[in-house]
Structure 1
Amino acid sequence: NVLIKSTESDRKNREIRELKDMLEHKSAELEEQKKAVNELQQKAECSDKKYCKEIENMSCKMFQLTNQVGELEEKLQLAASEGLQREQCYNDLLGEYEKIHSLVKAQDTSEDGGVDLQRGQGEIGVDNTQLVANNSIAEDQGCAGALLEVGQTKDLSVLHDQISLLENSLEAQKQLNSDHQQQYEDLLQRKGETEARLCNVEQMHESFVTETKQHISDLQADISARQKLVEKTSAVLEEKEMQLQTLSERLENREAELQDLKVNNKFLEDAVRQLRLMSGTWDSEKKDMSSMICSYSKKIEDLTEENSTLRNLSRALE
């Protein structure tokens, strides 16, 4: 019975060691999972800050590009208005030049042509004065000054030079308008690319946040399951330890009883040995007594026979 209890105790100890090893392994896994969750949360926070910073920078850039596009649109509108004014001035000046040129040709055929030329130039002066009043551009002021000079000097070559300058100014204005238009298109393209990139970054950020939250949720669920398993294993281990303690106490009681039985058995063995020794002594004495009894019996028989002989002899003597 004690041997069975000892074997059961060994089995319980082995089960407890296995449970402790499993509990230690699960606890280590649980700590690793918690560490992974903390690292993932820190990484998510850093990535979120990075995405938010990038979105903020791109939003600021979008704001700047929008302002630049607005400013460039205003410049384009202003340049278009100036171009129209320059072109109108050019057309007016060209018309007056042609009128003067026609009057000059007519001067060769008629003396009255001079008067008409002077009258036409006077009209040109009036028209040029009105054109100067309506034109607000600095370059056009030079054009208006040229018209006044034509009215005053009656010099067609000067008017022709001013027309050439105005043509060059128109070409420069057209080139400037073309440059502004190209800048405007480039800005629109950059704005579109920035908007697309911003939208892509926002989608990536949203996807990253969703995936990270799901991953953290899965890890937390796994941690919760492992925590429950650890708690269950701890409860089983505690129960096994209590069973082992109870079994150990019972084993100690059985060992104490066994020790008492061994002591009693030793006492009984000593008593049996003593009895055996005493029995041997009694056997020897019994043999001696039997021998003595046999001797005494023989003597009695001899004495009886002798007594009978003596009685017969006595009777015979009588």
Structure 2
Amino acid sequence: MIKIAIDAMGGDNAPLEIVKGCDLALDAYPDIELVLFGNETEIKSLLKHTDRVSIVHTTEVISMGEKDPVKAIRNHRDSSMVKALYSAKNGETSAVVSAGPTQALIVGAHLVIKRMEKMHRVALAPIIPSIDQKGRILLDVGANIELRPEHMLELALYATVVSKEYLGVEKPTVALMNIGTEEGKGRELEKETFKLLKENPQINFLGNIEGKEILTTEANIVLTDGYTGNVLMKTMEGTAKGMGNMLKEEIKSSLMGKIGYLFMRKNLKRFQKRMDASEIGGAMIFGIKAPVIKAHGSSNAYAFKNAIRQARQFVSNQVVEKVEVALKDIQIEESSDSN
């Protein structure tokens, strides 16, 4: 049985959608057991399942608008998020899923569960849509504003294992986000990272790609620093939303548009599903000793159920253990500004 900790109070729609998502997951996956951390009275009033689920009462919640994540983690030890993280640290559960504030969860995972021995940085890594519908891993999208080339190599190795074990790609390929495709483009970070990726036999490196290729690249993994990745991800989200709104306006603007919609309705729904973040579930926090999944803050029940699915697959496929094997020969001396 795979035991997963749930931050039942984290997220814009908690605890209602979180608990509903837990019920959906318990229906879908008979090999999981869920431990819900949060207000016991509220959770019990919403929870339908009684088997393979337990509740740990907590008295605090880390706000979605939290400005100081380090202080929040240290000062709110009885919050649903922190208690869930400690359950994984202590081996009581095997993974954590939360829709709570992103930076608080990243900081909490780092401070409580701790980084893997060979990982010198953690990364937030969502799976983004792709033309071939297989999905791409994009990292980092916000855990680190600055990274060293050696850290980028570690993250690429981690993502390679995840692509194999989670997405089922036999020989994952890696591309480096840059301002041009030619070798030698970019800042010193990209130039040095390019060299490390090219020389490492564990990486199937395709070279540089530009932002315009993000949905069409053949690469299974797109690697960048947290600042660039966060801007890129939010640009994609905003573009998808804007295009959807423009399409709706055009459909409503004429009778022929409305008639055309009747014929195209199924196609448009399939298109919407391909771009829907709820189909993915959440972003993975790479580099932690136990799987931690960051569900979208506005997750509905279906999205949160899929985030639980991600955690389940990470545990069952022993992704963290396989990453440790992939990294065992990497030797990196940390600089004095390491965190």
TM tier relative to shorter chain: under 0.3
Q: Give me the TM-score of the superposition, normalised by structure 1.
A: 0.18
Greater fraction of residues in strand? 2
Greater CA radius of gyration, 1 or 2?
1
Greater fraction of residues in helix? 1
Higher relative contact order (CA 8 A, sep 6+): 1
